[in-house]
Structure 1
Amino acid sequence: MLFSSGAFSEVVLAQEKATGEMYAVKCIPKKALRGKESGIENEIAVLRKIKHENIVALEDIYESPTHLYLIMQLVSGGELFDRIVERGFYTEQDASALIKPVLDAVNYLHSLGIVHRDLKPENLLYYNPHEESKIMISDFGLSKMEGAANDIMSTACGTPGYVAPEVLAQKPYSKAVDCWSIGVIAYILLCGYPPFYDENDSKLFEQILRAEYEFDSPYWDDISDSAKDFISNLMQKDPEKRLTCEEALRHPWIAGDTALCKNIHESVSRQMKKNFAKAKWRQAFNATAVIRHMRRLQLGSSMDSSQHRKQNLTSMPGKKEEKEEIKTEICSNNTNQGMKTFTNDSEDILA
């Protein structure tokens, strides 16, 4: 079963024969990796270091002559915003409870010297469909190890609405960019719309660069001062003044009892459906906007890599013969590599 397709990979569902366990398999054609080997090597290096209950785990790696397969822990509970919209009751306390494990997981990453660099609601998934399911952080394709060779992080990456001002300014940045993104996510969780938005990309980036946002009435009238303080301290323009994840975990809105229990579902879900359900909104919040902005600023040779990213934003076509090739390889060759053996007796491997 095809889960999703990306710039140069597809994610499919596979079952381990011995146990019946289901996994998500990221299938990457080697021909698509030419010139981008360092990116996938970085992602694998990061994933191999991580073991946290709120982070999607890399279970195994398999390499065939034509493809690379990343065997990932399966998460099946859907995206964060979709689950909130489906609820009938939702409070500040619920939002606080959602942000806490994200902070804990990102704090863990930062303790390992890992910066995610693309935290956004689409990368926050529920582990399973159950009501009490835990939240999981996914997609480490843009993650970076601090202190690696040639590592002064200044590459423009991430998703515009969630990216920190220092990234857009192409200043050297640190793990504080993740804390900014968590602040943006928390803001949306409490009102249903983003702190920064404009149909014009340049104006959007100007808002972010100035850290220009408001707690608008009436949407924020019933939200606690503690919640606003929490967000304001994460969305500080100066990264040196921004709360770290460890500090944010000690904030009263997370660690104390200041989050309110009033039902805000009607207002928040209405705004989420209005602002995030439309394709045109999702299109406005993609990496091409960052690339256009950085090109306009003419920020030197770093634009070469940005142009490569732009060229890779279109989805890989779902050619049947390519899928059959992937299916054959993952089913018939893996036993020779000492890897988990996956079922190959139905179209559920790749559809």
Structure 2
Amino acid sequence: MIYVSEADPDEEGYDLAFEPRNVFVKRKDPKSDYKLGEELGRGKFGIVYKCVEKKSGRQFAAKFINTDRKDDRLAVEREVDLMRQLQHPRILQLYDAFDDGTSEMCLILELIEGGELFERVICDDFVLTEKACSIFMRQICEGLEYIHSKNILHLDMKPENILCVSRTGNRIKLIDFGLARKYNPKEKLQILFGTPEFVAPEVVNYEEVGFGTDLWAVGVICYILLSGLSPFMGDSDLETMANVTSTKYDFDDEAFDAISEEAKDFISKLLLPDMRKRMTTTDCLTHPWIKSTKRRSMAVLDKSKLKKFVIRRRWQKAVNAILALKRMGATLKL
């Protein structure tokens, strides 16, 4: 059985995977510097492979992103610009970037092999407790605090974008800055993208977004991690977004019977309709549920509903990947 360590991850000697690098897009074929290995995953963005840097022998992940349109290429260049500003142990690190003039660009990224957080915790040999959840949520907030300190909004916080560094440790990293934006609080920023289950009311209503937009998603992620239930999920995207704008949710399900009042309070102070009233990342890190050194309940949480949630998300990702491949002109044999 895998029990999450209660030791502070910062005390385990962990540091950045490699030295800080000022990455710029190189105008050449990445295969000139890297040898590609096995495929690690694919989605609507493209394909990720394990790779080895030829001159050093170091292992990385090579993310090939479809850039058929000029806007796609500009989006990847923006992602590179943001990621080179984000050098922190809680954030996936960018090592290299390439554009060889074809229909795709390549990002060389730190290799993380622990898998998605939710996928890992639903494994039968993983013991999920409220204490373990608070450890994971603290690290998520630490990563976001650093991102926000750089005046950057992630804008795509969801379980798939939280990875475990290893299969046995308790460290996580935030990934995927494809939708991230530089943020100037003095300028109005509006967006119309995101995953319906995790977008904040201001996104659905096409109102001004800000740091609190990311914190709404943190509240949703915490709610799901503790209970396996999605607080605003409807039978369709339209119904889900209507539920988000109504901001109606509760802790009435039996899944919350074993959850502390402090944990519920943490969620309640994030799932507020007015983003200006939500906790900041600093507020989150000083909240009693996160900060307290008291031993949280070590009672094992029932993961049956969380497993169902993860299975549903797998199907959604599979369908999205198939649709993306079809858009790229792939012929699928099913």
TM-score of the two chains, using structure 2 as the length reference: 0.80
In the TM superposition, residue 203 of structure 1 has moved relative to its aligned partner by: 2.3
Deviations along 1:209-261, one digit per CA (max 9) or x if unpaired, are 01111102311111111000000001111111100001110000000146732
For 2:128 and 2:294, locate their aligned partners in 1 and report how far apart those are by CA, in whole Å.
Answer: 16
SS in 2 for 1:36: helix
For 2:257 and 2:135, locate their aligned partners in 1 and report how far apart those are by CA, in whole Å.
Answer: 21
Cα 1:186–1:89 shift into 2, 3 Å:
same
Q: Which has the larger share of helix?
A: 1
In the TM superposition, residue 147 of structure 1 has moved relative to its aligned partner by: 2.3
Q: Which residue of 2 aligns with 1:322?
A: none
For 2:236 and 2:195, locate their aligned partners in 1 and report how far apart those are by CA, in whole Å.
Answer: 15
Q: Indicate whether 1:120 and 2:163 are aligned.
A: no
Q: Which residue of 1 aligns with 2:316?
A: 282
Contact 1:92-1:259 at 8 Å conserved across structures: no
Moved more, 18-27 or 153-162: 18-27
For 1:35 and 1:96, locate their aligned partners in 2 and report how far apart those are by CA, in whole Å.
Answer: 39
Q: Pairwise mapping of residues 137-216 of structure 1 onto structure 2 (< 5 A)?
A: 137-147=174-184, 152-216=188-252
Q: Which residue of 2 aligns with 1:5?
A: 42
SS in 1 for 2:254: coil
For 1:43 and 1:200, locate their aligned partners in 2 and report how far apart those are by CA, in whole Å.
Answer: 30
Q: Which residue of 2 aligns with 1:345?
A: none
Q: Which residue of 1 aligns with 2:145?
A: 107
For 2:295 and 2:276, locate their aligned partners in 1 and report how far apart those are by CA, in whole Å.
Answer: 26
In the TM superposition, residue 262 of structure 1 has moved relative to its aligned partner by: 3.3
Q: Which residue of 1 aligns with 2:306?
A: 272
For 2:118 and 2:284, locate their aligned partners in 1 and report how far apart those are by CA, in whole Å.
Answer: 22
Contact 1:168-1:209 at 8 Å conserved across structures: yes
Q: Indicate whether 1:18 and 2:52 are aligned.
A: no
Contact 1:6-1:315 at 8 Å conserved across structures: no
SS in 1 for 2:143: helix
The residue type equivalent to 2:183 in the other structure is E
For 2:73 and 2:153, locate their aligned partners in 1 and report how far apart those are by CA, in whole Å.
Answer: 19
Cα 1:24–1:317 shift into 2, 3 Å:
farther
For 2:50 and 2:137, locate their aligned partners in 1 and report how far apart those are by CA, in whole Å.
Answer: 29
In the TM superposition, residue 197 of structure 1 has moved relative to its aligned partner by: 1.4
Deviations along 1:84-114, one digit per CA (max 9) or x if unpaired, are 1124422111100000111001010001000
In the TM superposition, residue 44 of structure 1 has moved relative to its aligned partner by: 1.1
For 2:157 and 2:52, locate their aligned partners in 1 and report how far apart those are by CA, in whole Å.
Answer: 29
Contact 2:140-2:172 at 8 Å conserved across structures: yes
What is the root-mean-square deviation in Å for CA atoms of aligned residues? 2.5
For 2:50 and 2:316, locate their aligned partners in 1 and report how far apart those are by CA, in whole Å.
Answer: 25
For 2:161 and 2:327, locate their aligned partners in 1 and report how far apart those are by CA, in whole Å.
Answer: 18
For 2:287 and 2:325, locate their aligned partners in 1 and report how far apart those are by CA, in whole Å.
Answer: 38
Contact 2:119-2:310 at 8 Å conserved across structures: no
- Residue from 14, 33, 40 that aligns with 2:76: 40
For 1:197 and 1:218, locate their aligned partners in 2 and report how far apart those are by CA, in whole Å.
Answer: 18
Contact 2:224-2:231 at 8 Å conserved across structures: yes
Deviations along 1:48-105, one digit per CA (max 9) or x if unpaired, are 1110101111101223232422111111111111211124422111100000111001
Contact 1:276-1:282 at 8 Å conserved across structures: no
- Residue from 258, 268, 277 that aligns with 1:241: 277
For 1:62 and 1:182, locate their aligned partners in 2 and report how far apart those are by CA, in whole Å.
Answer: 32
Percent identity, please: 33
Cα 1:147–1:318 shift into 2, 3 Å:
same
Deviations along 1:133-173, one digit per CA (max 9) or x if unpaired, are 4101111100000029x963211111110110111011011
Cα 1:278–1:217 shift into 2, 3 Å:
closer
For 1:78 and 1:127, locate their aligned partners in 2 and report how far apart those are by CA, in whole Å.
Answer: 8
Q: Which residue of 2 aligns with 1:347?
A: none
Contact 1:230-1:248 at 8 Å conserved across structures: yes
Aligned length: 290
Q: Indicate whether 1:52 and 2:88 are aligned.
A: yes
Greater relative contact order structure (CA < 8 Å, 6+ sep)? 1
Contact 1:227-1:259 at 8 Å conserved across structures: no
Q: Which residue of 1 aligns with 2:169?
A: 132
TM-score of the two chains, using structure 1 as the length reference: 0.76
In the TM superposition, residue 264 of structure 1 has moved relative to its aligned partner by: 3.2
SS in 1 for 2:166: coil
In the TM superposition, residue 6 of structure 1 has moved relative to its aligned partner by: 3.0
Q: Indicate whether 1:91 and 2:141 are aligned.
A: no
In the TM superposition, residue 29 of structure 1 has moved relative to its aligned partner by: 4.9
SS in 1 for 2:304: helix
In the TM superposition, residue 270 of structure 1 has moved relative to its aligned partner by: 0.5
Contact 1:43-1:140 at 8 Å conserved across structures: yes
